[in-house]
Chains A and B, each alone.
Chain A
Amino acid sequence: MTDARGIIGYGVHLPIHRLDRGDIGRALGRPVGHGSRTVASFDEDAVTMATTAGLRALSAIPGIAVDRLLFATTSPPLADRTNATDIHAALGLDESAAAFDLVGSVRSGVAAVRAALDADGTVVVTTGDVRTGRPQSADEAEGGDAAAALVIGSGEGVVAELLADATVTVPVRYRWRRPGESTASTWEERFGEHALVEPTVRAIAAALKQAQLELAGVDHLIVTGTHARAARRVASAVGADDALVDDLSASVGNAGTAHPWLLLGNVLDRAEPGAVVALVTVTEGADVQIWRATPALADGRAAPTVAAQLVRGRPVDYLTYLTWRGFLARQPPRRPDPVPPAPPPSLRHADWKFGFVAGRCSSCGERNVPPQEVCFACGAVGAMTDERLASERGTITTFSIDRLAYSLHPPVVTAVVDLDGGGRTDLEITDAVPEDIAVGDRVSFAFRIKHQADGVPNYFWKAIPEREAD
């Protein structure tokens, strides 16, 4: 059992914002469905969400040496340049760990996990998606924004081992999106169902055979994919109603590359050790994985759970959602446009900018945030040692609600934060209700977009008041 490869850590991030599908219908004068979908905040993208999920996945296994980082998304912030590089830096991984993107199709998320299972060593797989569609489209209403991360490895820390892995590939063009466009096109729904249901059922049979299991031996059946109708038909075709798991379409929506791992995480949050989980992902064909929870799961569950994140949502109205996603260009304030960060200083200060690394003066012990060449307290030169702040907490000592500064979602709230481990820094506050912020509030930290300029996200860390955090 200890030789088996599997999941040694997992983590999920659901953005705090929820868009009620009824709001879309009311705004557009035409019903588009029930329930709500998750919405990445104006300062989140696939990279920041995947970073948060990655931090959570790694938090249960502190100090583990990571050999490789994979990042799968259909909504890469940048092309040509590796997006995983920023996640790598934000997770504080060693430079000897590789970072690769798998970008473009929804199936990339499955590809990343399979690649990690096929590899040696410890691989962090991050998946994250911001799913959009044209206003009033099914994609807009049924999409969801989320990220999920798995740490794949072997040994006694495996919380879920892979029993079987079967696949089927079909050259179907049911859904597609031109590179550079933010919304997809689809063919007629029934055609996708025709093309995908039967091959998927065959893949499920092949996986069960590989695992030497009957369907009745599956405790949790997850069926998801890019074709909702086909996924539903698959579930009824195999007839495992008792084991069928909620696909969270009513509360999250479909989060693309992240969705299978979000659903698997939701099962692992509550599955008993020994439980068998079948995960079926329908895309251009289907991927079927059969996992079994190990006794290590009892101590290896993620925090916060998916269930805990589902209940903490905060409504966002449809016009705000359209603004955040760039579908509604509102009048900016009479202030200069933000400028993108310059690459040379960003590289020089990468430990600070991405890794949120402070300096501790080895001469007087004061923490300098960010690290200084000359210690602010004792004047020692070149005496800083690195200390990572990402998992630390702090307290707001003063703050301002800035109604003049440029933001996609004004007002900008900034605060001076005293850190529990010593030192102080000045950060933007996010995911907060400005009127609720007070001196003395406790905060945690998250990797976010400070602003977007010339199409380039400027990543840095922000503080989240604890009542808003998980």
Chain B
Amino acid sequence: MASNGIRDRVAIVGMGCTPFGEHWDRDPGDLLVEASQAAFASAGVTRDDVDAYWVGTLGSGESGLTLSQPLKIANKPVTRVENYCATGSESLRMACYAVASGAYDVAMATGVEKLKDSGFSGLTMSPRPSDGTATETTAPAGFSRIVPAYAAKYGVDPDELKDAITHIAWKNHRNGSLNPLAHFRREVSKDAIACSPLVAGALGIMDCSGVSDGAAAAIVVHAEDAERYTDRPIYVKGLALAAGSGTGAMDRSYDHTTFPEVVASAADAYQQAGLDDPRADLMLAEVHDCFTPTEMVLMEDLGFAERGHAWKEVLAGTFDLDGVLPVNPDGGLKSFGHPIGASGLRMLYECWLQLRGEAGERQISNGRTMALTQNLGGGPGHAVSFVSVVGSQPSA
């Protein structure tokens, strides 16, 4: 493995997360202020205690000024990062490595996105000048390609596959109904999901993540300093990022039933964390359910299910809130919402709550002490993937 990792060298000691949803009355800066203030309060620090900042956003700002202006941070290192839908995770990764390096003692990772101001349906990006030959596939269309490819490879009846992805949406809405910060806080029947208007391929509107505004933030310190801030810090066990070569559209060995970038980043993160059996050892996993088929194949890519079996495990309830390994207990992108730059940190926020026993009605109590976040951007064949493992206990 190419990564040495920073297992247990840094800890998260404070977090904040805004409600996700339609914030018609808030600017991106307002959302960053709210998430940052909550994180400061959570760690018992002020703006002046933080040595360096990162802000992740796909399109709601450029440069470190995206954060320094609204927070009025004067003359400190503030950097904007972007890595598609893994942007929020990238912000965390930078802050953790900066502290682990010894360059700073206290760093803050933030992420924000304001999607509702564009007026468009779904996610859009401003086009760069090009030769106009790239296939313009919307995000749901790109991810919908998993369905026919998976059905063909494993000989699964398309109706059963539709049942499986419907179960994922149903589960995540059910979980989100227990989450006061989620964009969509009501259960949705499987019938309503399965019959929702088609957007792309087999995907209905109810197979797609919420288009939301929101922000989240985390305070990172040296592990040995952690208890000065909180009696229940969470320790960073592993952080892995894999940017694929983006050749799925030209490489025939790619079959659209897996994200090789996820497999690679998971292997790296598990090795860093010393995690041998993720299905048995994780208390929960927060994964990138941008569209329901994505969550299905992630179960295989992350080692939670055998190849070709995820759809059956999903239907069996393995990943339900009371299942063997709860996945997306906070509602996921599907129900919590998906403000791009904030999502990776929102996943961490759920791990923070669950590992500290603060998740309220949806609190998981399976006795385990580690949690996973997985966050990806791009699409099948051209993705970036991030995996983190965090835990409530430092290594012995």
Chain B proximity mask over A333-358: 1 for CB below 8 Å, otherwise 0: 11110111110111011001100000
Question: Closest Cβ of chain B: how far from A84's Cβ, in Å?
Answer: 20
Would A400 and B145 count as touching, CB distance under 8 A?
yes
Known: A335-B120, A345-B130. A418 touches B245 (CB 8 A): no
A426 to B200 alpha-carbon distance, docked (Å) = 16
The interface stretch among A205-213, A251-259, A401-409 is A401-409
Q: Which residues of B contact A458 (CB under 8 A)?
A: 132
Closest to A458 in B: B132
The number of residue pairs between A and B whose CB atoms lie closer than 8 Å in the complex comes to: 131
Would B200 and A425 count as touching, CB distance under 8 A?
no
A323 to B272 alpha-carbon distance, docked (Å) = 58
Asked if A48 CB lies within 8 Å of chain B CBs, one says: no
Chain A proximity mask over B250-288: 1 for CB below 8 Å, otherwise 0: 111001100000000000000000000000000000000
Asked if B101 CB lies within 8 Å of chain A CBs, one says: no
Closest to A334 in B: B121
Q: Which residues of B contact A416 (CB under 8 A)?
A: 145, 249, 256, 381
Q: Which residues of A contact B127 (CB under 8 A)?
A: 336, 339
Known: A334-B120, A341-B131. A400 touches B200 (CB 8 A): yes
A460 to B130 alpha-carbon distance, docked (Å) = 13
Among candidates A335, A339, A345, A372, residue contacting B121 with C-beta atoms closer than 8 Å: A335
Asked if B201 CB lies within 8 Å of chain A CBs, one says: yes
Question: Closest Cβ of chain B: how far from A387's Cβ, in Å?
Answer: 13
A72 to B386 alpha-carbon distance, docked (Å) = 55
A344 to B131 alpha-carbon distance, docked (Å) = 8
Q: Which residues of A contact B141 (CB under 8 A)?
A: 400-402, 404-405, 412, 414
Would A397 and B256 count as touching, CB distance under 8 A?
yes
B124-173 CB contacts (< 8 Å) to partner A: 124, 127, 129-133, 135-138, 140-142, 144-146, 148-149, 152
Asked if A292 CB lies within 8 Å of chain B CBs, one says: no
Name the interface size band of chain B.
35 or more
Asked if B316 CB lies within 8 Å of chain A CBs, one says: no
Closest to B142 in A: A400
A405 to B251 alpha-carbon distance, docked (Å) = 25
Asked if B199 CB lies within 8 Å of chain A CBs, one says: yes
Q: Which residues of B contact A399 (CB under 8 A)?
A: 145, 148, 201
Q: Which residues of B contact A345 (CB under 8 A)?
A: 129-131
Asked if A33 CB lies within 8 Å of chain B CBs, one says: no
Asked if A376 CB lies within 8 Å of chain B CBs, one says: yes
Asked if A369 CB lies within 8 Å of chain B CBs, one says: yes
Name the interface size band of chain A.
35 or more
Asked if B198 CB lies within 8 Å of chain A CBs, one says: yes
Would A402 and B148 count as touching, CB distance under 8 A?
no
Chain A proximity mask over B178-216: 1 for CB below 8 Å, otherwise 0: 000000000000000000001111000000000000000
Question: Closest Cβ of chain A: how far from B156's Cβ, in Å?
Answer: 13
Among candidates A346, A402, A412, residue contacting B132 with C-beta atoms closer than 8 Å: A346
Q: Which residues of A contact B138 (CB under 8 A)?
A: 335, 402, 404-405
Closest to A348 in B: B131
Asked if A295 CB lies within 8 Å of chain B CBs, one says: no
A398 to B293 alpha-carbon distance, docked (Å) = 14
Would B256 and A398 count as touching, CB distance under 8 A?
yes
Asked if B122 CB lies within 8 Å of chain A CBs, one says: yes
Known: A335-B120, A368-B250. A341 touches B130 (CB 8 A): yes
Question: Closest Cβ of chain B: how far from A87's Cβ, in Å?
Answer: 17
Would A402 and B200 count as touching, CB distance under 8 A?
yes
Closest to A423 in B: B250
Question: Closest Cβ of chain A: how far from B187's Cβ, in Å?
Answer: 26
Asked if B367 CB lies within 8 Å of chain A CBs, one says: no
Q: Which residues of A contact B251 (CB under 8 A)?
A: 376-377, 424
Would B120 and A426 count as touching, CB distance under 8 A?
no
Known: A340-B132, A352-B131, A400-B145. A405 touches B137 (CB 8 A): yes
Would A423 and B256 count as touching, CB distance under 8 A?
no
Q: Which residues of A contact B133 (CB under 8 A)?
A: 341, 349, 352-353, 370, 450, 460
Among candidates A334, A376, A428, residue contacting B247 with C-beta atoms closer than 8 Å: A376
A427-460 CB contacts (< 8 Å) to partner B: 427-428, 438-440, 450-451, 458, 460
Q: Which residues of A contact B148 (CB under 8 A)?
A: 398-399, 438-439
Asked if B119 CB lies within 8 Å of chain A CBs, one says: yes
Chain B proximity mask over A227-263: 1 for CB below 8 Å, otherwise 0: 0000000000000000000000000000000000000
Question: Closest Cβ of chain A: how far from B244's Cβ, in Å?
Answer: 11
Q: Which residues of B contact A340 (CB under 8 A)?
A: 132
Chain B proximity mask over A354-381: 1 for CB below 8 Å, otherwise 0: 0000000000000011101000110000
Would A450 and B145 count as touching, CB distance under 8 A?
no
Q: Which residues of B contact A450 (CB under 8 A)?
A: 132-133, 136
Would A349 and B131 count as touching, CB distance under 8 A?
yes
A344 to B137 alpha-carbon distance, docked (Å) = 23
Known: A335-B120, A376-B250. A353 touches B200 (CB 8 A): no
Among candidates A334, A369, A414, A428, residue contacting B250 with C-beta atoms closer than 8 Å: A369
Q: Which residues of B contact A425 (CB under 8 A)?
A: 249-250
A458 to B127 alpha-carbon distance, docked (Å) = 15
Would B137 and A400 count as touching, CB distance under 8 A?
yes
Question: Closest Cβ of chain B: how far from A368's Cβ, in Å?
Answer: 6
B200-255 CB contacts (< 8 Å) to partner A: 200-201, 245, 247, 249-252, 255
Would A423 and B122 count as touching, CB distance under 8 A?
no
Would B249 and A426 count as touching, CB distance under 8 A?
yes
Q: Which residues of A contact B145 (CB under 8 A)?
A: 398-400, 416
Would B144 and A342 count as touching, CB distance under 8 A?
no
Q: Which residues of A contact B201 (CB under 8 A)?
A: 399-402
Q: Which residues of B contact A369 (CB under 8 A)?
A: 250
Question: Closest Cβ of chain B: how far from A119's Cβ, in Å?
Answer: 33
Among candidates A376, A403, A427, residue contacting B199 with C-beta atoms closer than 8 Å: A403
Would B124 and A335 count as touching, CB distance under 8 A?
yes
Question: Closest Cβ of chain A: how far from B115's Cβ, in Å?
Answer: 13
Q: Which residues of A contact B200 (CB under 8 A)?
A: 400-404, 411
A375 to B200 alpha-carbon distance, docked (Å) = 32
Q: Which residues of B contact A405 (CB under 8 A)?
A: 136-138, 141
Among candidates B129, B149, B198, residue contacting A342 with C-beta atoms closer than 8 Å: B129
Question: What are 16 A-B contacts defined by CB distance under 8 Å?
Answer: A335-B138, A336-B120, A340-B132, A342-B131, A345-B131, A349-B131, A349-B133, A369-B250, A397-B149, A397-B256, A405-B136, A416-B145, A423-B252, A424-B250, A451-B136, A458-B132
Known: A401-B198, A425-B250, A450-B136. 11 other contacts (CB 8 A): A339-B127, A341-B131, A342-B129, A368-B250, A400-B145, A401-B200, A404-B138, A426-B135, A426-B249, A439-B152, A451-B136
